[in-house]
Amino acid sequence: MTNRITLPSDQDSTGRTFGPEELEAVRQCLATGTLTSTKGNFVRQLETKFAARIGAKFAYACSSGSAAVHCAVAALNPEPGDEIITTSITDMGAITPIIYQGAIPVFCDVDPHTYNVTAESIEKVISSRTRAVIVTHLFGNPCDMGPIMDLANRHGIPVIEDCAQAFLTTCRDQHVGTFGAVGTFSLQQGKHITTGEGGIVTTNDPAIARRIYLFINKAWGYGDPQPDHYFLAPNYRMSELAGAVALAQLEKLDAVVESRVRTAAALTTELAGLPGIETPVITEQGVHTFWKYCLRVDETVIPGGTVALGAALRDSGILCAPRYIQKPAFECQVIRNQVTFGTSRWPFTLARPEATDYSRSRFTGTWNALEHVLVLPWNEKYTDEHIEYLATRIRNAVLSLTSKDVCQVTAGR
């Protein structure tokens, strides 16, 4: 048995990449005395550099990944009651913006091995009221964007790519966040790079870019001959201080991703052939950048499945999450009970009954995915020693759970 070790954590300095570069950027920013991005230069530089790094024409920084999704939805300007297809396995911050903009989230099933939506699952829920599709590149594994874009283009439906967990992820040699009409990123504490809270929105379309920019800025037309507040919009600006940190973090992104991909491949090699364990299924022609590393656990081989294996690993200090978000997004109270504005239930009052039909039979992939997934924390500071530790503890836990079963069977005879 290997000695217990503590893994780096993305919740503190053990697993984050802050250093003298971020300190110096913040010092320089403070020295300018300008902390609003409407006047300063740090956020603007971040936007230019991020757009260039992923090959998008435009990027705009904002206050969170949820704000980024809100900007994306607002930029497409749905009519009240329009439907926006989204995934049933995602963060609530990717869903509430749909409702705030008066549209109906229509949930789409996922592939139980990649945990992502597919062209086939999206097609099943397209209706005459579909206004957009949000695809989420979950855990850093790309959705298969070829067939998804073919489908969306055939139906004339814009695609929003939620890349909160997918920095530098590619599909068919193209960065996610550049396939659809809009891409959204999160800079929250646990993401590949972070400013604690923060977000980025990308697009190649100048008209959409203009609306994103305005939506972040109370729809005030800065620099226009006769500026006004043109439409309903919040202040979602990123501060210059966060922009300074993000700019320094962006310089480290390639190394962060390279490290995560390398150590993930090493663990996959270590776990090859382990009974009852499926290592990540990477989308064909995709590069998975491992926000997290997921195991799919077969409970017919490993008694107790993901919950039992998760408990054993947590005993080893590996803070994994069996079942990820525990339940599909549509099972959360806000959606299930339509808890929105006062007691109105608006905009769900405008929904077609099929759009809010969350019957289990319509989401077999989703339930299957959540029942089997075990999400391991992943980090750019993992070393070969950490990977060896993870592999050993996983192997030992699997062995122990499967041999207990053999003993019980034997004892019961």
136 contacts ligand PLP (rule: CB under 6 A): yes
105 upstream amide cis, omega within 30 of 0: no
* Cβ pair 105, 99 in contact under 8 A: yes
Pick one of 54, 61, 94, 132: the residue that binds ligand PLP (CB under 6 A): 94
97 contacts ligand PLP (rule: CB under 6 A): no
253-271 vs 384-412: helix crossing angle, rounded to 10: 30
- Cα separation, 320 vs 155, in Å, equals 40
By CB under 6 A, what part of segment 53-72 binds ligand PLP? 64-66, 69
Tokens of 348: 């769900």
231 C-beta neighbours (distance < 10 Å), count = 12
93 contacts ligand PLP (rule: CB under 6 A): yes
Pick one of 78, 97, 177, 199: the residue that binds ligand PLP (CB under 6 A): 199
Q: Is 404 a catalytic residue?
A: no
Give the list of residues 6+ apart from residue 295 with CB closer than 8 angstroms, or none.
271, 277, 278, 279, 306, 309, 373, 374, 376, 394
Closer residue to ligand PLP, CB minimum distance, 136 or 306? 136
Q: How far is the CB of 39 from ligand PLP (least distance, A)?
A: 25
Long-range pairs, 206-209, Cβ under 8 A, ≥24: 206/57, 206/58, 208/75, 208/76, 208/181, 208/182, 209/57, 209/58, 209/60
Closer residue to ligand PLP, CB minimum distance, 74 or 387? 74
* Cβ pair 381, 334 in contact under 8 A: no
Closer residue to ligand PLP, CB minimum distance, 188 or 289? 188
Closer residue to ligand PLP, CB minimum distance, 93 or 180? 93
177 contacts ligand PLP (rule: CB under 6 A): no
Closer residue to ligand PLP, CB minimum distance, 375 or 391? 375
* Cβ pair 73, 96 in contact under 8 A: no
Q: How far is the CB of 295 from ligand PLP (least distance, A)?
A: 19
* Cβ pair 1, 395 in contact under 8 A: no
Of 57, 191, 218, 292, which one is the catalytic site residue?
Answer: 191
279 contacts ligand PLP (rule: CB under 6 A): no
User: Which span sits near ligand PLP by CB under 6 A: 160-168, 271-279, 304-312, 341-349?
Assistant: 160-168
268 C-beta neighbours (distance < 10 Å), count = 14
Identify the burial level of 75 via C-beta atoms within 10 angstroms of its C-beta, where 0-12 means exposed, 13-18 middle and 19 or more buried: buried
Q: How far is the CB of 184 from ligand PLP (least distance, A)?
A: 7
Quote the Cα angle for 118-123-371, to 5°. Answer: 45
Closer residue to ligand PLP, CB minimum distance, 197 or 299? 197
Pick one of 86, 118, 186, 249: the residue that binds ligand PLP (CB under 6 A): 186
User: In the bound complex, which residue of the shown chain has the CB atom lying closest to ligand PLP?
Assistant: 65
Pick one of 7, 143, 148, 164: the residue that binds ligand PLP (CB under 6 A): 164
Q: Nearest to residue 250, comparing CAs of 195, 188, 173?
A: 195
Pick one of 17, 86, 90, 130: the residue that binds ligand PLP (CB under 6 A): 90
Q: Which residues bind ligand PLP (CB under 6 A)?
A: 64-66, 69, 90-91, 93-94, 136, 162, 164-165, 186, 188, 199
Active site residues: 191
